[in-house]
Structure 1
Amino acid sequence: MSCLCEFEPTLLPVTDKKAGIDVGIKDLFVTSDGFKSGNPRHTAQHATKLAKYQRRLAKKKFGSKNRLKAKRNVARVHAKISDCRSDNLHKLSRKLINENQVVCAENLAVKNMIKNPTLAKHIADASWGEFTRQLEYKANWAGRTYVEIDRFFPSSKRCNGCGFVKANMPLDVRSWECPECGATHDRDVNAARNILAAGLAVLAFGENVSGDGISVSLSCSR
């Protein structure tokens, strides 16, 4: 069932809180203040039931009523996964918008990333594109500011304290120590803080701000 309605969005009270978010697979997002959302992994939760109904469907005769029933069972599991994922994303995006005046994130090319056969299933389940879409329109509704920075900005490799940038940072490195200032960084929290700093620079200096050859831009503001 689908319902269509009209409403007037209510602007939220202005707050001085700001957040940078780094999206991921282990945690759907990590904020610049250290909050880690976790990842319920809805597809994995229902994988056993889905596989069972898919096996039953594969054994049914084409055009039979039993095949139609089996097909409906598979569709119900897919719908359950989709509904659970959507509900979780709405709750998380609403929490971020309610609590922060400015939310900064990376402009990721999810369609390109999902071509990786190893991570494709996990990236699809995380739904980063839908999550950032929700942040954008909810920010507009609430009078908040949502900023996207360039995906090539070295948020994970840059020390948020002194600005030192490492030459490379493999995905399996989850924490590292800056050789310049000696600070120890959690990879995701450090990235979120750099994303916040870059996003605030966009707001302060305009549409195009460059750092180390990387440009960041304002995606949505109100």
Structure 2
Amino acid sequence: MKARYQYRFYPTDQQKQSLARLFGCVRVVWNDALAICKQSEKKPKSAELQKLVITQAKKTEERAWLSEVSNIPLQQSVADLEAAFKNFIDSCKGKRKGQKVGYPKFKKRTSSQSARLTRGGFSLKGDGVYLAKIGIVKPIWSRELPSDPSSVTIIKDCANRYFLSFVVEVEPVQLDAKHMSIGIDLGIKTFAVMSNGEKAFSPCYEAIDRRIRKLQKKLARQSNGSNRRSKTKIQIAKLHNQIADTRKDFLHKLSTKIVSENQTIVLEDLNVSGMVKNRKLSRAISLQGWREFRTLVEAKSEKLNRNFRVISRWERTSQTCSCCGYRWGKLDLSVRRVVCLNCGAEHDRDQNASVNIKMVGMGHRHDLKCTSRQSKTTSVASVDEA
């Protein structure tokens, strides 16, 4: 399986100028190719686009500076545009799973920049990495590469940080699991409640989020193109990166712990795009990173030979007793503890849901014909305000 290893590096002033030139050329090639595709009745092939926006463009006075950078990232930019069109067409035809993919957009100078190099455009030399027509950069090697990389992506984010992202081949790891299976219910106040009784609480982002809101109001009052506006944008980007890095560290540690200790991991397929439409909860839901956590668990399960399962979002995990299968119906979010009318068992709402997620994922389900709801339970259930 393939994986990405990302390292930060600090270029010199001369290398920053060369990288800025490289990012600009890659962006211009993408925008020129996209403009040709929009003007044409039939989309040209990738080889034709490369001939128009790279080979022939270098011979003109307007695009003669494309020769100052390596030809490999320019070709990869056209190849990335071809992949973007393929994803858009497959999404329209229903061949691509997941959320709908939109039509490719023009790249902006103000957003994050990237350029991809294949094996002919870079090489590892000791503690440094040689990049074509840029020179040797020295990343901070926080861990060793497991194998020779097939490509590297140079990234500059909105906070002016530089990264090298390598694509490498990773072999599956054999590691014995302590437990057979686990079900996980994701939430806001408690990020994850597990069927074994453990709970995981996400870091608090409220203080940084308040600072971001304050700076965003300040940004709205500043005039476009001013130096103060650009400084405020960098400050906002740094705070966003601080939240993203904290969340990524938390999700990596939690997903590694769960995958290494359990053979089968069961999650619920949450409709996050529909849940964020709730104005009161949208900001809190977006800060949690539920989808990122699912992606990490799925990737690490493949690496450690674990079974990763996702149950349907329509399973009534919060409406069914995990002991006897009695269905009590929908409950308000304020109801955190419930007493089952059938067996008398008292449940924590999230803990009961995690046990039901595990049971459904493992194929063990109660006989719902005998345990279907006979009456409303919201008025009789024991409610404990958390």
Count of aligned positions: 206
Residues 125-144 of structure 1 correspond to what in structure 2 (within 5 A)?
125-144=287-306
Question: Normalized against structure 2, the TM-score is what?
Answer: 0.51
Confirm whether residue 172 of structure 1 aligns to residue 334 of structure 2: yes
Q: Evaluate the alpha carbon distance shift between residue 191 and residue 145 of structure 1 in structure 2; reply closer, same or farther with a 3 A threshold.
A: same
On the 8 A contact 2:183/2:357 being kept in 1, the answer is yes
Letter in 2 for 1:170: D
Confirm whether residue 70 of structure 1 aligns to residue 227 of structure 2: no
Q: Which residue of 2 aligns with 1:156?
A: 318
Deviations 1:65-116 (A, max 9, x none): 2221121111111111111111111111111101111111111111111111
State how far apart, in whole Å, the 2-side matches of 1:66 and 1:117 are.
31
Letter in 2 for 1:92: L
Unaligned runs of 5+ in 1: 203-208, 214-222
- The structure 2 residue matched to 1:41, chosen from 170, 188, 204, is 204
Q: Evaluate the alpha carbon distance shift between residue 5 and residue 211 of structure 1 in structure 2; reply closer, same or farther with a 3 A threshold.
A: farther
SS of corresponding position for 1:101:
strand
- The structure 1 residue matched to 2:262, chosen from 100, 103, 107, is 100
SS of corresponding position for 2:310:
strand
Q: After the TM superposition, which segments of 4 or more aligned residues of structure 1 sit over 6 Å from their partners?
A: none
Q: Give the Å deviation of 1:211.
A: 7.0
Give the alignment's Cα RMSD to 1 decimal: 2.0
Unaligned runs of 5+ in 2: 1-162, 370-386
On the 8 A contact 2:177/2:261 being kept in 1, the answer is no
Residues 1-222 of structure 1 correspond to what in structure 2 (within 5 A)?
1-6=163-168, 7-42=170-205, 44-201=206-363, 212=368
Q: Give the Å deviation of 1:14.
A: 4.0
Deviations 1:26-82 (A, max 9, x none): 11110001111113232x130232234334433433212222112111111111111
Q: Evaluate the alpha carbon distance shift between residue 9 and residue 46 of structure 1 in structure 2; reply closer, same or farther with a 3 A threshold.
A: same
State how far apart, in whole Å, the 1-side matches of 2:180 and 2:207 are.
34
SS of corresponding position for 2:268:
strand
Q: Evaluate the alpha carbon distance shift between residue 210 and residue 163 of structure 1 in structure 2; reply closer, same or farther with a 3 A threshold.
A: closer
On the 8 A contact 1:41/1:125 being kept in 2, the answer is no
State how far apart, in whole Å, the 2-side matches of 1:146 and 1:201 are.
14
State how far apart, in whole Å, the 2-side matches of 1:147 and 1:198 are.
10
Q: Which residue of 1 aligns with 2:377?
A: none
Letter in 1 for 2:358: L
State how far apart, in whole Å, the 1-side matches of 2:223 and 2:329 are.
57
If asked which structure has higher relative contact order (CA below 8 Å, sep 6+), I would say 1
